[in-house]
Amino acid sequence: MEQPPDTPVTLPDYGEYETAWCPGCGNFGILKAVKQALVACQLRPESVLFVSGIGQAAKAPHYLNANLFNGLHGRALPVATGAKLANRALTVIVESGDGCLYGEGGNHLIAAIRRNIHVTVLTHNNQIYGLTKGQASPTSMEGFVTKAQPDGVHSQPFNPMATAVAMKAGFAARGFSGMPDHLAGLIQAGINHPGFALIDILQPCVSFNKVNTFAWYKSRCRDVANTHDPANWEAAMKLAFQWDDWIPVGILYKNDRAPFESYFPACAPGPLAEQPVDRNALRQILLSYA
Amino acid sequence: MEQPPDTPVTLPDYGEYETAWCPGCGNFGILKAVKQALVACQLRPESVLFVSGIGQAAKAPHYLNANLFNGLHGRALPVATGAKLANRALTVIVESGDGCLYGEGGNHLIAAIRRNIHVTVLTHNNQIYGLTKGQASPTSMEGFVTKAQPDGVHSQPFNPMATAVAMKAGFAARGFSGMPDHLAGLIQAGINHPGFALIDILQPCVSFNKVNTFAWYKSRCRDVANTHDPANWEAAMKLAFQWDDWIPVGILYKNDRAPFESYFPACAPGPLAEQPVDRNALRQILLSYA
Amino acid sequence: MTNANEQPNALQVVIGGEAGQGLVTISELLCRSLVRAGYHIVATQSYMSRIRGGHNTFAIRVASAPIAAPQEPIDLLVALNADTFQRHRPELAPGALVIADEKEDIRDVPVLNVPFERLASKTAENMAACGIVGAILGLERATLEHALESFFDGKHPEGAEDNRKAISSAYDWIGAQKVAFRNLPAPPRSAAPIMLNGNEALALGALNAGVKFCAFYPMTPATTVPLTLIKHAGKMGTVVEQAEDEIAAINMAIGASFAGAPAMVATSGGGFALMVESVSLAGMTETPVVIVVAQRPAPATGLPTRTEQADLEFVLHAGHGEFPRAILTPGSVEECFELAQKAFLLADRYQGPVFLLTDQFLADTYRDIVPFTLDTPPHWPAPPEPDNPPYKRYALTETGISPRLIPGLSRHRVVADSDEHTEDGHITEDLDVRRAMVEKRLHKMLGLEAEVSPPVFQGDAHPDLLLVSWGSSRGAVEEAAAIVRAGGTRAGTLHFPQVWPLVPKHFLDTLTSAPTVVAIEGNATGQFARLIRAETGFHIPHHVLRYDGLPFTPEYILRRLPHGTTA
Amino acid sequence: MTNANEQPNALQVVIGGEAGQGLVTISELLCRSLVRAGYHIVATQSYMSRIRGGHNTFAIRVASAPIAAPQEPIDLLVALNADTFQRHRPELAPGALVIADEKEDIRDVPVLNVPFERLASKTAENMAACGIVGAILGLERATLEHALESFFDGKHPEGAEDNRKAISSAYDWIGAQKVAFRNLPAPPRSAAPIMLNGNEALALGALNAGVKFCAFYPMTPATTVPLTLIKHAGKMGTVVEQAEDEIAAINMAIGASFAGAPAMVATSGGGFALMVESVSLAGMTETPVVIVVAQRPAPATGLPTRTEQADLEFVLHAGHGEFPRAILTPGSVEECFELAQKAFLLADRYQGPVFLLTDQFLADTYRDIVPFTLDTPPHWPAPPEPDNPPYKRYALTETGISPRLIPGLSRHRVVADSDEHTEDGHITEDLDVRRAMVEKRLHKMLGLEAEVSPPVFQGDAHPDLLLVSWGSSRGAVEEAAAIVRAGGTRAGTLHFPQVWPLVPKHFLDTLTSAPTVVAIEGNATGQFARLIRAETGFHIPHHVLRYDGLPFTPEYILRRLPHGTTA
Ligand SMILES: Cc1ncc(C[n+]2csc(CCOP(=O)(O)OP(=O)(O)O)c2C)c(N)n1
Ligand SMILES: Cc1ncc(C[n+]2csc(CCOP(=O)(O)OP(=O)(O)O)c2C)c(N)n1
Ligand code: SF4
Ligand code: SF4
Ligand SMILES: [Mg+2]
Ligand SMILES: [Mg+2]
């Protein structure tokens, strides 16, 4: 199974696993696209670290062959941030649900955008809490009816793209699980973007979201690649709000701020785990307390 | 001391107290403006509930005569939300610091904006953690140096106005503690706005923020009232990013979404505390489990 | 020694299949029909943390006489897929019957091969299975049909009709078969029982106590508490809000409670962990709040859909600093209702956090219940308005209880602070005030102790074997003791419906006078036994522990009792 | 019975004033000078939760012989404002001297009226006070001047010069006065001690242990731990990040640790409360993380700048579910250094959360320290790479410890999961695996028990009076016992530098054989005594508790010992 490091990476390197998802779930398309992107990036499994939270989406990285820290609901981003700071050489990818990343984990998303840490976030956005059996998520549309919201959702949905663009995130893109090749391209671009990348992925949940179905998304999602310059902030902001008959998918916004980890001199020489403890320096420090 | 309810409310109704703030702190101007606004709104102290977190700013409501729940660092907004839902008749005002509301409490801010609950938030934004002796806050500018950030802040500052406008908050305004009359007007408008109102108040911290001083703010803050229509979202978005020689103060954005509490039929008849338990209904419900 | 399954009046039906096969629907329908027909049930749900696929079961123990616990041996196994048969084959009781599709190749055990395809449309096959079981158990066809009607409640007429037909064909088909299966005696009761699981009962108890506000963030196995409140929110005038996270949930509840609304939250271990800082806030500001912690196996995410009792010490000590609390641990669906009411009463009276500590097993288990009487509602007096200002929210009193007014509902201002505070609620750093306030708050423990629900002893006076339990294992423990007794050993049980505060005089004599004491706990370290020792010095030498995610059964306990303790 | 203050070799200087008067600067300068001159110090900070105004003190107990605790009586009171004199007047020892501005009207006690306005510019008046005290204590002028130089370190030359002048004028002025004040014997030492407070020592210990990552959210009294790391981050190659909240802080540390960096967090009760879910995560994923909890009085926000020991039970049981942990409770500044190292060692070896439980008193108290030797660094071995794939992160082993590889640093993939997992780290709902994993994790307790830092006994063999303590009260307890012994009673002390796990054979004999045992704890309910009882059944009948926010002193303890226990 082990390949010498100069062999090209191929799809089988990332394996095939049985999943715990419902047949027809949009997660399958995302899983496919992720593997495709990793191969396109020629990243070896042992150099990639997935970090996920809890939810149906968060199980995704169990279904490919890479390093994984499957942590708590809502807390993938700080774990990813710590891991990236500990070892810049790791490709760190966060994969989780809309509830996990925009609900429980909302504060970390904002902080990660502000930091611009080089972590790629893949949100499986099914506009619902799947694993807990169908309550509204932060992205559920106003009026959306569930068992927990029998009169419909009263809160305005969280618009991840608008918030990311308003906060001038390093990289903000929207994808659709039903366009896996297109999505793979976005993920590849996100991984290669040297800073924070948020990819919000529209994903039908066949079990609980009977409004935003595959067909619903399919008829709306169209790529913006040919008509939009991601450096154009105003245009990006407009596209972020575009959500009716047309939902634009593609890279909405991008800039070139320096990644957070570049500010830490300690991160430069290599993994923190391999840095020695300089006891001579420490001795000097101790004496400075005289 | 007790006044019959038809006596007009005057400043002395809100009292004068000794504070624990540093002489010269911007908090004094805010305290003054708050009292002025409450009088202008002709609100009786017993009908007003302040909710605050922890920090120098969060002490503010101790220095006036009204109901107060001074809770945990970062958690003022959910307490305020619960209280407002329990009693719509209360005027609920959240007062706390930038660290409290945008740092520890970031997730609640986003949720409160989405809900559009009728709560007025006054952020004492001194761009620093005051009470804990001067670490960077979410609004500290890039490069800002503190003991905890000796190489300067590397994160992009949180822009509360940009985020609020991007999220189409009910009411978003910026004030300056050095313009207390202007600020009082904003607070009055915020209280009267029937939905969520965020008022970000620039506030010099004489002890720890030696960059964004009174003079620094003073020379930059100018009102937008005459030139800007808060219904104009695009213009509001531009103003939200305006932060150099000119920092616009005033109401940047406003809309008329229905307040969150209006969706709960149970909130309509009056305070939940005064609603009886309908045991006949409950008996019917019990039997429906046969 | 007899076994639970040998009770002539009880038998166990297990329905197993994948998530998404409609297992829950038909099982609930069957339970409801059995209850309406007057049977007693203990119906336990066991499911995986996924929406489709996997392996789930619904185990319905049914009896003509009262029963209290699930049992292990299966008398009637409905295998909705092949996997179910393979998994549960070892649990089949002597004389058990398996019901499976005729296409499954099941051998060596009595099997009823059902031609489901012929009996029902694809989507109604599960309903045909339901009909088969109903018929075998001797339920009237009409009973099932009526239960089906209430299920559909006039909605989806096509689906309803399809399902009715499936039941009908099943009854028709089985009439022509010769099924050898032991029948249950006819049920003796004629009362009109209802069917509730623990979470439903808990929510209804809260409603009767006057809950007006609930905030929650979804978390298995607690979510059905708020969902039950939501279902009845319109009629009961309750505000229920799904919060952005658990921290928000409990702070909303505290805010609502401060503003006068009896308030609660419901969550499980990991969600509760996020509430811990605010438990301390409720303690410091003396704000009533009822906190439901429905336990599941941890640490961390653990096994989200299984059961455990490993959060006792965590809940007992959750929150920084020292302040009073009470922890109620219902041992049955009825106790969920009763103790939910008590929780609100205590929270109101002692002004602080009160816990209802349940678990997945109790939360999800359906029982037949005699409808509760609602005529003794707990008392929520309007707080007396002190007439001499200044009003002092935290006035130092003998009981530690201070007059609580509601902001906006009196002429007074109400000030609460998470910092140490003076009697009027304002922040202070006066260290004498500090000492007085610590003592005032802790003084409330005395009142709480006076209102403790004492442990319930059952069985022989002066037993040789004493089984100690808390929370959901009550039924299994009491049934195990009954079997031990039937075997000739003097046995008793001591069930704790409240684990904090503990009042040693309630139980210490019972403990010290029994030759053999065994603690039965759904955790790996014997947390309650440790607590008893911390409070009394009494060391419970024997343990029966379970931490594999499954609930206690009488059989599980009997197999693990110390050697020589049973005759 | 003698009193602490009657020790001929010790005296206490208290400097009091408002926040913002430069109190900390001059006190630290004075301490440093005293330490450089060879004196022993215990310098305790007592401050309010505000930036300007209020009342703060810095109490410097100074001695020619080793001392271990603060004392109450004041020998030299420097009153930077009138309020200081009023507050501390009752604490003045016989023969005490008060130093105050000549404008203050202080009577009835010996007072040195200083013309501060003449001695220094407005901003340097505090430094003049510093000079006065230095001169009275017999410090050489040059010692203070050198300390001032290191303080300014070449920066702000004008301010530095102003301050130097103030010291100089103070020395000149006092030369002309006749000050009657008892002098301390000259210090005996010639070693070159350093001066550290508990938090600094803790951070330096962590650095020596190899800490490479720390995330924090500011919280008094923990913040100076990360601030110390930040100060030396450049030289030591440490990454320190201020997180958006405490939940982020601990998850960042867990992420960094998973990726191989020895990692820590530091916070206080309320902030720790937010980390509780992630403590359970570290337990489940078996990720090393060192958690510093610097206690302060709670519940909730409590008294942010005062001290308490009321989070022991909270920290012990924090986190849902059951998993191993260790809790180290340093009793001195030296133990902060030592136990910080041990914490990293244990976290690494047993792969989970390890706690350092300190408090505001210890965190902020300066002591003279003999520089630590750094030549016995703890061992961080590169994990051996198993050569037969598949690599199993959670392989079941006899010790419960599984081979830990670092993702990206080997050929293997490393998979960790907060759900229950198989040996290879993947999510499972297999209930047999569950049971095995629970047992594997708890099995690590055995190893932890074998490495416990045992309690330290001091004093007479077979004491009649045994004082039991944990954490920061060690010094006060040991001094109190010394005084009792000097009074003719056989007394001993048992200090616990580690409170979990407890190994009864380390201490049970000592406890049971002492006629009178007293637990000394900085809380209101006797938490550690309860823990001892839970683990051993032994009931400590007497308590000396303190919960007003102030640290223990020998005097406080002596006043509260049970009647008849001292000769
Ligand atoms: C602290 C905490 N709160 C709640 C839960 C329960 N929970 C598990 S998954 C989930 C929501 C899942 O929704 P989402 O993140 O959108 O993922 P999806 O299942 O839809 O893919 C929740 C609330 C939890 N595991 N932890
Ligand atoms: C959970 C928690 N974390 C940290 C703290 C410590 N703390 C108190 S105030 C504060 C920051 C204050 O900054 P800000 O909110 O901006 O208010 P300011 O003092 O500047 O007015 C912090 C971190 C706390 N009390 N609780
Ligand atoms: S519940 Fe929804 S999101 Fe989860 S696996 Fe099924 S279809 Fe996918
Ligand atoms: S520290 Fe800053 S914010 Fe706090 S009172 Fe002083 S000046 Fe104001
Ligand atoms: Mg989702
Ligand atoms: Mg601030």
pLDDT in tens, A181-194: 999 999 999 999 99
pLDDT surpassing 60 at residue A171: yes
CA distances from C419 to C304, C416, D305 (A): 36, 9, 11
Confidence of residue D455 (pLDDT cuts 50, 70, 90): very high
Are residues D321 and C298, on separate chains, in Cβ contact within 8 Å? Answer: yes
- Check: CB of residue B77 under 8 Å from CB of residue B119: yes
Percent with pLDDT over 90 in chain D: 86
Residues 56-85 of A with CB under 8 A from D: 59, 62, 65-72, 75, 77-85
Q: State which residue of chain B sits closest to D217, comparing Cα positions.
A: B104
Residue A85 Cβ contacting ligand 3 at under 6 Å? no
Query: Residue A241 and residue B201: Cα distance in Å, rounded?
Result: 28
A137 lines ligand 1 (CB under 6 A): yes
Q: Which of C248, B108, B107 is nearest to A105 (CA)?
A: B107
Q: Which of B73, B106, B136 sits opposite D242 (nearest CB)?
A: B136
> Is the minimum CB–CB distance between A187 and chain D shorter than 8 Å?
no
Subunits with at least 3 CB pairs below 8 A relative to chain C?
A, B, D
Q: Which residues pair with C326 in a beta bridge?
A: C354
ipTM of the complex: 0.97
> Side chain identity at C120, as an amino acid letter?
A
- CA–CA gap between residue D127 and residue D164 (Å, rounded): 8
pLDDT digits (tens, 9 = 90+) for A96-145: 999 999 999 999 999 999 999 999 999 999 999 999 999 999 999 999 99
DSSP reduced 3-state for B153: coil
Nearest-5° Cα angle at A26, A24 to A30: 130
Residue D396, phi then psi, degrees to nearest 5 = -75, 125
Q: What 3 state SS string does D243-307 have?
A: CCCHHHHHHHHHHHHHCCCCEEEEECHHHHHHHHHHHHHHHHHCCCEEEEEEECCCCCCECCCCC
* Chain B closest-CA separation from residue A96 CA (Å): 17
Q: Over 80: is that where the pLDDT of D389 sits?
A: no
Which among B46, B272, B277 has CB closest to C377? B277
Query: Can you tell me the distance from the alpha carbon of C552 to that of B226, in angstroms, rounded to the nearest whole number?
Result: 73
**Beta-carbon count within 10 A of C512 CB:** 10
Which of D239, D338, D424 is the best substitution to test chain A (most A C-beta atoms within 10 A)? Answer: D239
Pick the residue whose CA is nearest to atom 1 on ligand 4. Answer: B130
Per-residue buried b or exposed e for A104-116, using 16+ beta carbons within 10 Å of the residue's own CB: bbbbbbbbbbbbb
Q: What mean pLDDT is predicted for residues C117-127?
A: 94
Confidence at residue C189, expressed as pLDDT on a 0 to 100 scale: 66
**D302 Cβ inside 6 Å of ligand 2:** no
Residue of minimum CA distance from atom 8 in ligand 4? B25
pLDDT at C390 over 90: no
CA–chain centroid gap for D120, Å, is 36
Tokens of C528: 């309650």
Q: Which part of chain C has CATH 3.40.50.920?
A: 456-560
CA pair distance A64, A50, nearest whole angstrom: 10
CA pair distance A146, A152, nearest whole angstrom: 7
Range C322-342 average pLDDT: 98
Burial of D484 (0-12, 13-18, 19+ CB in 10 A): buried
| Ligand that lies nearest to the alpha carbon of residue A209, given by its number in the listed order | 3
Positions of E strands within B203-262: 221-223, 247-254
Rounded Cα distance between D291 and D211, Å, is 12
Q: Which residues fall within 8 angstroms of residue C403, CB to CB, at 6 or more apart? A: C383, C384, C386, C391, C392, C393, C395
pLDDT at D566: 74
Q: What is the pLDDT of residue B6?
A: 76
Closest CA to D490 of D453, D457, D461, D447: D461
Contact pairs from chain A to chain C, CB under 8 Å: 63
Contact C419 D270 (CB under 8 A): no
- Touching B (3+ Cβ pairs <8 A), the chains are A, C, D
* Core vs surface per residue B232-251: b (16+ CB within 10 A) or e: ebebbbbbbeebeeebbbbb
What local confidence, expressed as pLDDT, does residue C377 receive?
A: 56
Nearest CA distance, A105 vs chain C (angstrom)? 8
**Residue B220: pLDDT above 80?**
yes
What single-letter amino acid sits at C480? A
Is the CB of residue D541 less than 8 Å away from at least one CB of chain B? Answer: no
Cα–Cα distance measured from residue D276 to residue C275, given in angstroms and rounded to the nearest whole number: 9
Q: Which residue stretches of C351-420 are H helix?
A: 360-364
Q: What is the pLDDT of residue A1?
A: 41
Give me the residues of D, 160-219, that contact A with CB < 8 A. 192-196, 200, 204, 207-208, 210, 212-213, 215
Q: Which of C512, C484, C478 is nearest to C496 (CA)?
A: C478
Burial class (CB in 10 A: 0-12, 13-18, 19+), A243: middle
Beta carbons within 8 Å of C508's beta carbon, 6+ residues apart: C536, C538
Residues 6+ apart with CB under 8 A from A210: none
- For residue A67 and ligand 3, the question of a CB distance below 6 A is answered with no
Chain position carrying tokens 């693990």: C560
Q: Which domains does chain A have, with CATH numbers?
A: 11-262 (3.40.50.970)
Query: Could you tell me the CA-to-CA distances from A87 to D108, D226, D246 in Å, in that order?
Result: 67, 21, 22
Distance of CA C252 to the CA centre of its chain: 25
The CA-atom distances, in angstroms, between C411 and each of B12, B13, C102 are 17, 13, 76
C27-74 pLDDT, tens per residue?
A: 999 999 999 999 999 999 999 988 898 999 999 999 999 999 999 999
Distance A126 CA to ligand 5 centre (A): 5
Q: Which of D283, D298, D533 sits opposite C320 (nearest CB)?
A: D298
DSSP SS3 for C250: helix
Which residue carries 């010290």 as its tokens? Answer: C512
Q: How far is CA C465 from CA C468, C473, C486, C494, in A?
A: 10, 17, 13, 11
Q: What is the pLDDT of residue B4?
A: 60
Token pair recorded at residue D51: 């930036």
D20 φψ region: left (φ > 0), alpha (ψ -120 to 50), beta (else): left
Whether the predicted pLDDT of D454 surpasses 90: yes
d(CA D515, CA D495): 18
Q: Is A21 in the pocket of ligand 3 (CB under 6 A)?
A: yes
HEC string of D7-36? Answer: CCCEEEEEEEEEECCCHHHHHHHHHHHHHH
| pLDDT for res D6 | 53
CA B195/CA B164 separation, integer angstroms = 13
Question: Which of the residue ranges A132-146, D81-95, D500-514, D534-548 would you say has the lowest mean pLDDT?
Answer: D81-95
| Mean pLDDT within D403-416 | 95
Q: Which residues pair with A53 in a beta bridge?
A: none
Mean pLDDT of B32-50: 98
- Over residues D44-72, the mean pLDDT reads 93
Nearest residue to C457 via CA among C485, C418, C499, C491: C491
Neighbours of chain D (3+ CB pairs under 8 A): A, B, C
- The answer to whether B38 touches B60, Cβ cutoff 8 Å, is no
Q: How many Cα atoms are found within 13 Å in the side-chain-facing hemisphere of B17?
A: 18
Going by their DSSP bridges, the two strands D456-459 and A91-97 should be labelled as unpaired
- A207 in ligand 3 pocket by Cβ < 6 Å? yes
Q: Which fold has domain D4-175?
A: Pyruvate-ferredoxin Oxidoreductase; domain 3 (3.40.920)
Mean pLDDT of B253-268: 97
Closest-CA residue, ligand 3 atom 1, reads A130
For C194, the closest of B264, B273, B287 (CB atoms) is B287
Residue B170 is given by DSSP the state S
First to last CA, chain C: 8
Residue B106 predicted with pLDDT over 90: yes
- CATH 3.40.920.10 residue ranges of chain D are 4-175
As annotated, the residues of chain C forming the CATH 3.40.50.970 domain(s) are: 195-369
Torsion angle (degrees, nearest 10) of CA D219, D222, D226, D232: 140
How long, in residues, is chain D? 567
- Ligand 4: centre distance to CA B131 (Å): 7
- Choice from D219, D224, D268 to test ligand 2 binding pocket (greatest atom count within 8 A of CB): D219
**Angle at which helices B106-115 and B76-86 pack, to 10 degrees?**
30
Question: For residue C367, which amino acid is it?
Answer: R
C427 contacts C528 by C-beta, under 8 angstroms: no
Candidates 3.90.420.10, 1.10.3430.10, 3.20.20.70, 3.40.50.920; CATH matching D456-560: 3.40.50.920
Q: Which architecture characterizes domain D195-369 according to CATH?
A: 3-Layer(aba) Sandwich (3.40)
Chain A neighbors of B111, CB-CB under 8 A:
106, 155
- Here the tokens at position A63 are 């279904």
Q: Nearest-CA distance from C273 to chain B in Å?
A: 16
CB C72 within 8 A of CB C397: no
In angstroms, the CA B200 to CA B74 distance is 16
Q: What is the mean pLDDT of residues A2-24?
A: 88
Task: Provide the chain D residues 188-217 that lie in CB contact (below 8 A) with chain C.
Answer: none
From the list D503, D475, D479, D506, the residue with the least C-alpha distance to D491 is: D479
CB-CB under 8 Å, C539 with D539: no
Q: Which of chain D's residues have a Cβ under 8 Å away from the Cβ of A51? A: 255
Answer whether D311 sits within 8 Å of C303, measured CB to CB. Answer: no
- pLDDT tens readout for residues C9-22: 899 999 999 988 88
Tell me the nearest-neighbour CA distance from D78 into chain C, angstroms.
22
